[in-house]
Amino acid sequence: MKCVAAQHGNIVLRELEEPQLLPGHILIRTEYSAISPGTELSMLRRSGETPVELGYSAVGIVTRTGVDVRGLEPGQRVACYGAPYVRHAETLAVPANLAAPVPDHVRPEEAAFAGLGAIAIHALRTADLRFGESVVVVGLGILGNLTAQIASASAFRTAGLDLDEGRAERLRAGGIEAFAGAEDLEAQLARVTGGLGADSVLLCVGGDGGPLIDRAFGWLRDRGSVVLVGDVSANFSRGRMFGKEARVLISRAGGPGRYDPMYERDNRDYPIGYVRWTEGRNTAEYIRLLAEGRISVAPLLTALPFAQAAEAYESFRGSEPALGVLLRYGAD
What pTM did the predictor assign? 0.96
Asked if residue 332 has pLDDT above 80, the reply is no
| CATH 3.90.180.10 domain position(s) in the chain | 2-113+257-328
Q: What is the pLDDT of residues 307-320, one digit of tens each?
A: 999 999 999 987 77
Q: What is the three-state SS of the chain?
A: CEEEEEECCEEEEEECCCCCCCCCEEEEEEEEEECCHHHHHHHHHHCCCCCEECCCEEEEEEEEECCCCCCCCCCCEEEEECCCCCCCECEEEEEHHHEEECCCCCCHHHHCCHHHHHHHHHHHHHHCCCCCCEEEEECCCHHHHHHHHHHHHCCCEEEEECCCHHHHHHHHCCCCEEECCHHHHHHHHHHHCCCCCEEEEEECCCECCHHHHHHHHCCEEEEEEEEECCCECCCCCHHHHHHHCCEEEECCCCCCCCCCCCCCCCCCCCCCCCCCCCHHHHHHHHHHHHHCCCCCCHHHEEEEEHHHHHHHHHCCCCCCCCCEEEEECCCC
| CATH 3.40.50.720 domain position(s) in the chain | 124-250
Asked if residue 229 has pLDDT above 80, the reply is yes
User: What percentage of the chain exceeds 90 in pLDDT?
Assistant: 94
> What topology does CATH give the domain 2-113+257-328?
Quinone Oxidoreductase; Chain A, domain 1 (3.90.180)
Q: What is the pLDDT of residues 131-141, one digit of tens each?
A: 999 999 999 99
CATH class of 124-250: alpha beta
